[in-house]
Amino acid sequence: MRADMAAGALTVRTRHARPRVRLMPQLTGWGFVGPATLVIVGLSIFPAVWALILSLRDDNLLAPGSFVGLQNYSDLLDDPDLRAATLHTLLYSVLYVPGSLVIGLPIALALNRPIRFRAFYRTCLFVPYVVSAAATGILANFILDPQFGIVNDLLAGAGIARQGFLQDPSQALLTLVVVSLWGSVGLPIVVYLAALQDIPRELVEAARVDGAGALRVFRAVTLPQLRPATVFLVIWQTIDALQLFDLVYTTTKGQPLDSTTVIVFYLYQQAFQLFHAGYGAAVAYALFVVTLIASGAALWHARRGEAPS
């Protein structure tokens, strides 16, 4: 009898212990991710909510403001300076996003071949990507200076007239595109390299057995297999282009003649130079919506292309 009671008590204790044993890994996991979660909430979610509230107010961050509803968003439609900044941003994006893919893919294809010093070349091409945009901008100012820059010295030595580059309204935005491509083409190269190495060799060998040449293999096998990587890069590079700020701030500051004023730099001017914080927050949320729509459109187009006919 006592043995049965002891066995029953042991069974009860075991049943109560099992939930605690199952719960311990979860508590341990939350113990590790909890601080990071608080940081993300504190530095991302809370500021985003606060900025949304600020966009509905006429506020300068210095004195008490007033609630104006959607007036800031309505003012966006009648702002010629914002339209000019939007045009500059779109032009930059149209040149930068396809350019990074067109440059990155051929280099990735070359570096995917068994050549000498391949690892060294990969490192050299990726290093500019990990350098901050601010450092890239300072370097660009130094080497592209119209009077003392090394690029203009080389042009003068070749008998070509010195160029204004970042100080010429007709060249400044295009120069920013070139500098951005130099600093960020490492990402498409690395992503495409990883995608190329994931292509099953059986597909390539089967195409060659069927008599397909190198160009046919590239079009029929390689490009379709690179589609997910291309979609990712298009979305990532588009977001990067729409959020251009650091490079503009460290090089032209929107000049000359406002020819390089892009949306995020215009937002910065409104919020922190002119103290139109509510209007600047409205610009930020409008840009967020545009970025979300552009990313969703790219994903929809990609899934539509993958759908069976």
Amino acid letter at 88?
A: H
How far, in Å, CA of 267 to CA of 260, rounded? 13
Q: Map residue 55 onto helix, strand or coil.
A: coil
User: How many helical (H) and strand (E) elements, i.e. helices and strands, does the chain have?
Assistant: 16, 2
| pLDDT values of the chain reduced to their tens digit, one per residue, 309 residues | 555 554 555 454 555 545 555 666 667 777 777 787 787 777 778 888 888 898 898 888 788 888 888 999 999 999 999 999 999 999 999 999 999 999 999 999 888 888 888 888 888 888 888 888 888 888 999 899 888 889 988 988 888 888 889 998 999 999 999 999 998 999 999 999 999 888 888 887 787 777 777 788 788 888 888 888 999 999 999 999 999 999 999 999 998 899 999 999 999 999 889 889 899 999 999 999 999 998 888 888 777 766 554
- CA 304 vs CA 12, 82, 237, 300, 301: distances in Å: 56, 33, 21, 6, 5
| 300 φ/ψ sector (left φ>0, alpha ψ -120 to 50, else beta) | alpha
Q: What is the largest CA-CA distance in the chain?
A: 108
And the tokens for 215?
A: 């160009």
Amino acid letter at 203?
A: L
How far, in Å, CA of 81 to CA of 67, rounded? 24
Yes or no: say if 245 and 265 are a contact pair by the CB < 8 Å rule: yes
pTM of the model: 0.83
